[in-house]
Structure 1
Amino acid sequence: MTTTSDAVAKVLQGSVDLHCHSGPSPFPRRFDHVEAARDAQERLGMRAIVAKSHHHNTVMDLLAMAPRLRELKTEVYGGIALNSFVGGLNPHAVRMSLRMGGKVVWFPTMSSGRHIECHPEGAGFPTETVPLTCERIDIIDERGELKPEVGEILDVIEETGALLSGGHMYPEYIRQLFQEAKRKGIRRLIVNHPNFVIGAEPEQCLEFVELGAFIEHEVGMYDPEGNMRWDPKSLLEWIERIGPEHTVLSSDLGQKTNPAPVDAYLRVCGALLDLGLPEKDLQRMTRDNPSYLIGLD
């Protein structure tokens, strides 16, 4: 029996999307942060979403949108991705973002060496609406050690209790970053889509889990109406290998040419339930784990 959308929505009440690509953005987006939150509230009763941009600090967007956001129950949080558009490994930008309410720091995504290898000249990503330049940002110096700015940034993350993401970096860079983060007492760490761009195997992800990290998978990758359309069975295999207690499901959606995040959640989570995933495990990955990671519980 196929699980109905209404039944899936009931299970997903109170969920949190840590990876929403609403706008504004130089990439074409289907809606702004307020519209994304309204859709999440009205159709899924989501507790919160995190607005992510590869290009800028989204906290300032949300402060500007505060009068509209106050009308909604679904909370919206922001953060900063350390690409060249914000100066790369820029402790000053991180301090501003987190001290003004930001919840997440993504280490280089589009500016990481791994991302550039996978998407040379931006291939496979939307065309930006304005001409921009993007430079490679590495966290390791010529001696193979973390650059001093990384330590400064980690200190701010520890001070504010923010969530540290490994971005789109090489697995070995993520490991080195997380080892230092653990040494500094950072308790909230996440790896985004390990099997897309990053190329981390389950065994490597179990090492990240030992360092305190959660492994995030994107429902947008497994939606049959999205641009990637991977098999949900492979997602279930990842969940079973890593364990739902260390896994997060987010959307990674908001792009103009992709489905709305809520639609992908309903389809993919419904497919997981049909494959035998227990409801309590789904709630843990969509509600409990992400709520912990941004300090809601």
Structure 2
Amino acid sequence: MNKKLLEGVIDMHVHSNPDIRHRRYDDFELMEAAIRVGARAIVIKTHQGTTVDRAYLCNKHNELTHYGDNNFTMYGGITLNRQMGGINPYAVESGLKLGGKVVWLPTQSARNHLEKMKQSMDRCVDVIRDGKPVPELYDVFRLVKDFDVVLGTAHISPEESFRIIEAARDAGVKKIVVTHPEWWLVDMSLEDQVRLVKDYNVILEHCFAQPLGGGKYKSNLPMNLEAIEACGYKNVMVCTDGGQVENPCWEDALTQYIQYLIDHNIPEEQIYHMTHTIQAELLGLSV
């Protein structure tokens, strides 16, 4: 593989410690792995709330230990699960003022997640009520628009995604990412992905692997290749959703992902767009 495809790479979905579920790397270890391969940026994600403060500490640690010898930046975001008060514009505003770059809708508190996992609805955070986005979401849309950051659909259902994305676009939100649509829990059809790209010009985040239960994971790469071919590389973003101890280290998962695309005749300039350009535009970085 052309190692230059890893230089400057950006991954907008990686999990790390501290976390309730143990991850392969902690924040500093992930940062060091990214620096070793010459990555430009990572966005760390947690289901427990916010990673904005953790990203700040990583960047300060980088500054104090590497003395500016790299171009890497760690970014954080906020996930609107029950722990953050659900659809909480106050939490969103604080997170964005502190430098957050992504606002994820509910993941483990999403109605779709809880229903698919057959879990108690006690912590459910709804995004749709009576067929319309909940009122608090319009304040979140305004904040996402004003701060020019990313709205991620997280673990909501395809039906909810269509309504939320339409409302977000109407509210002026420019940067919308459909989170791992290939995952069985989200279960968005390829036809729906094509329609969302056509109608709303969203970015589809396609990740390395998905859990099947019992610590087993299934590769998403064949499905991701189909999405690239059907939806077009300009709207498919390569991410790992990495960090699980059952999967390869973050940098190895990303390398395998890129090599798979090369082996299946995706041109390098298209791979570069899906691993560098889309992410840089979403994060407001120079391309």
TM-score (norm 1): 0.87
The match for 1:194 is: 181
In structure 2, relative to structure 1, the CA distance for the partners of 1:12 and 1:221 (3 Å cut) is farther
Equivalent position to 2:193, from 194, 205, 215: 205
Amino acid at match of 1:201: S
Amino acid at match of 2:250: P
Q: Does 1:162 align with 2:149?
A: yes
Offset from partner CA, 1:60-90 (integer Å, 9 cap, x none): 2223444313235311000001110111101
Q: 1:1-297 maps to which residues of 2 (within 5 A)? A: 7-42=1-36, 44-70=37-63, 71=66, 73-121=71-119, 135-141=123-129, 143-196=130-183, 197-209=185-197, 210-221=199-210, 227-230=216-219, 232-297=221-286
Distance 2:275 2:131 in 1: 36
Unaligned runs of 5+ in 2: none
The match for 1:129 is: none
Structure having greater relative contact order (Cα 8 Å, sep ≥ 6):
1
* Contact kept in structure 2, 1:84 and 1:134, CA below 8 Å: no
Distance 2:41 2:58 in 1: 15
* Contact kept in structure 1, 2:15 and 2:46, CA below 8 Å: yes
TM-score (norm 2): 0.90
* Contact kept in structure 2, 1:187 and 1:212, CA below 8 Å: no
Distance 2:256 2:47 in 1: 26
* Contact kept in structure 1, 2:50 and 2:78, CA below 8 Å: yes
* Contact kept in structure 1, 2:6 and 2:39, CA below 8 Å: yes
1:102 is paired with a residue whose SS is: coil
Amino acid at match of 1:219: F
Amino acid at match of 1:13: E
2:108 is paired with a residue whose SS is: coil
1:51 is paired with a residue whose SS is: strand
* Contact kept in structure 2, 1:33 and 1:76, CA below 8 Å: no
Amino acid at match of 2:138: G
Offset from partner CA, 1:151-180 (integer Å, 9 cap, x none): 011110011001000111011111111111
* Contact kept in structure 2, 1:107 and 1:165, CA below 8 Å: yes
* Contact kept in structure 2, 1:8 and 1:269, CA below 8 Å: no
Offset from partner CA, 1:84-118 (integer Å, 9 cap, x none): 01111011100010111000000011111111122
Distance 2:39 2:116 in 1: 33
Unaligned runs of 5+ in 1: 1-6, 123-132
Aligned length: 276
1:198 is paired with a residue whose SS is: coil
Amino acid at match of 1:25: D
1:251 is paired with a residue whose SS is: coil
Offset at residue 30 of structure 1 (A): 1.6
Amino acid at match of 2:224: L
In structure 2, relative to structure 1, the CA distance for the partners of 1:134 and 1:275 (3 Å cut) is farther
1:194 is paired with a residue whose SS is: coil
Amino acid at match of 1:287: H
Offset at residue 268 of structure 1 (A): 2.0
Distance 2:222 2:25 in 1: 30
Amino acid at match of 1:172: E
Higher normalized strand content (fraction of residues) = 2
Offset at residue 220 of structure 1 (A): 3.4
* Contact kept in structure 2, 1:12 and 1:46, CA below 8 Å: yes
Amino acid at match of 2:222: K
Distance 1:276 1:231 in 2: 17
